[in-house]
Chains A and B, each alone.
Chain A
Amino acid sequence: MPNRLRPIGSYAAPVSAGVSVGVVANPASGRDIRRLVAGASVFGNADKAGMVYRLLGGLGAAGVERVLMMPASDGLSATLHRQLYAHARRPPAGAVAPLPVLEQLVMELDGSALDSLEAVARMREAGVAAIVVLGGDGTHRVVAKACGDVPLCALSTGTNNAFPEMRETTVAGLATGLVACGRVPAAGALRREGALVVERDGAAPDLALVDVAVTAERFVGARAIWSGAGVSELVVTFAHPSAVGLSAVAGLIAPLARGAGRGVHVRFAADPREAEHTLAVALAPGLVTEVAVASHRVLDTGDIVELPPAAGSLALDGEREIERRPDEAVTVRLAPGPLTIDVDAVMREAARRGATRMQPRRV
Chain B
Amino acid sequence: MSTVAPPGTGQLTPEQLVEAYRVMRTIREFEERLHREFATGDIPGFVHLYAGEEAIAAGVIAHLGSDDYVASTHRGHGHAIAKGCDVKGMMAEIYGKITGLCKGKGGSMHIADFDKGMLGANGIVGGGPPLVCGVGLTAKVKGTDQVAVSFTGDGGSNQGTFLESLNLAGAWHLPVIFVVENNGYAESTSSNFHQSGIDVAKRADGFGMPGIIVDGFDFFAVHEAAGEAIERARSGGGPSLIECKVNRYFGHFEGDQQTYRGPNEVEDLRRTRDCLDAFARRVTDAGVLEREALAEIDASVKTLIDDAVREAKAAPDPTAADVLTDVYVKY
On A, residues with C-beta under 8 Å from B are 28, 31-33, 35-37, 42, 44-46, 73-75, 78-79, 111, 215-223, 227-232, 268-272, 291-293, 311-312, 323, 325-326
Contacts and interface: CB of A to CB of B under 8 A. Distances in A.
A45 B198 contact: yes
A316 B205 CA distance: 28
B19 to A, nearest CB: 16
B199 A31 contact: yes
Contact of A312 (B10, B197, B282): B10
Contact of A221 (B195, B221, B242): B221
B288 interface: yes
Which A-B residue pairs are the 5 nearest by beta carbons?
A230-B6, A268-B1, A75-B198, A221-B224, A31-B213
Interface stretch (B159-167, B225-233, B252-260): B225-233
B10 A222 contact: no
A33 B214 contact: yes
Contacts of B2: 216, 229-232, 268-270
Contacts of A111: 245
Contacts of B218: 220-221
A282 B198 CA distance: 32
Contacts of B199: 31, 44-45, 74-75
Interface of B: 1-10, 12, 192, 195, 197-199, 201-202, 205, 210-214, 218, 220-221, 223-225, 228-229, 232, 240, 242-243, 245, 282, 285-288
Q: Which among B10, B225, B282 has the greatest number of chain A C-beta atoms within 10 A?
A: B10
Contacts of B282: 219, 323
A359 to B, nearest CB: 43
Contact of A222 (B5, B6, B8, B205): B8
A128 to B, nearest CB: 27
B3 A270 contact: yes
B10 A232 contact: no
A308 to B, nearest CB: 15
Given A45-B197, A268-B1, A37 B228 contact: yes
A218 B2 CA distance: 14
B66 to A, nearest CB: 25
B198 A73 contact: yes
A35 B1 contact: no
A31 B287 CA distance: 31
Contacts of A218: 9-10, 12, 286, 288
Contacts of A325: 285-287
B211 A323 contact: no
A221 B220 contact: yes
Nearest to A215: B6
A293 B242 CA distance: 35
A220 B202 contact: no
Nearest to B197: A75
29 contacts: A31-B211, A31-B213, A32-B212, A33-B214, A33-B228, A35-B210, A35-B211, A36-B232, A42-B205, A44-B202, A45-B197, A79-B197, A218-B9, A218-B286, A219-B12, A219-B220, A219-B282, A223-B221, A228-B1, A229-B1, A229-B2, A229-B7, A230-B4, A230-B6, A230-B7, A268-B1, A292-B1, A323-B282, A326-B286
